[in-house]
Each structure stands twice: as structure tokens, then as C-alpha cells.
Amino acid sequence: MASTKVQRIMTQPINLIFRFLQSKARIQIWLFEQKDLRIEGRIIGFDEYMNLVLDDAEEVNVKKKTSKQLGRILLKGDNITLMMNTYVIREIISCLLEYGSWWHLVRVHQMQIETM
């Protein structure tokens, strides 16, 4: 009986940023040493230093629950701590509201990967 395993391939950070650019996904960026501020927008350009040009950028204050429209901005790569698709954020919030835990979402995704 042949065993099928999921082959894990390392994804380079630059490739993930390129995918965000190609898909025109709205992303959220966590800022270095700014735990209460996030930047959301769509990547329309980047370079090898992870400097990003964002369109429809918005500054989100998670503590005050406020946001401020910024338009098109250049965000230096030195300021970036984390980058994620806002779709993921909506999925986590949905699971928290429905099941009381984000762990359910993690298990569902693990099961989907295992069945591939």
C-alpha cells in the first residue's frame, strides 16, 4: 500500500507578498513597537527590503476601536512585524462568535490539509 504524504514546501516571504499583490487581497500589517496600531490596505508595489506601497490604506487603532483613512502610502519594511490577509481575521472572529474558540478553525484547516 503506497503512503501519500503532504509535501511541505518552504515559502519565501517575498513570494507571499507577491501573492498578496497578485490577488489584490486586503491585508493587515502589525507595526513594530506599535502594539495598538495596525495598517490595512492593498499592496500595489514592494521591493527587496519589504518596503510596501499600499492603496486604500487605513490606520486602525485596536485599543480605541477607531480608524483613519490614509489613502496611498509607502510603508518602510523596518516597521513591519506581521502581515496577514484580512480574510483570516474575519474567519477567526467568526469562529470566536460561533464556537467560542479560534481552535475550531485551526482543527478544521488541519483536517483539510490531512485529507489532501
* Per-residue model confidence as pLDDT tens digits over 27-57: 999 999 999 999 999 999 999 999 999 999 9
CATH number at residue 62: 2.30.30.100
* Inside any domain, residue 23: yes
Between CA 64 and CA 110 the distance in angstroms is: 34
* Global pTM exceeds 0.75: no
81 assigned to some structural domain? yes
Domain count, the chain: 1
CA distance 11 to 19: 11
107 is a domain residue: no
Q: Is residue 29 a part of any domain in this protein?
A: yes
81 by Cβ neighbours in 10 Å (0-12 / 13-18 / 19+) ranks as exposed
Residue 3 lies in a domain: no
- pLDDT (tens digit per residue) in 54-73: 999 999 998 999 999 999 99
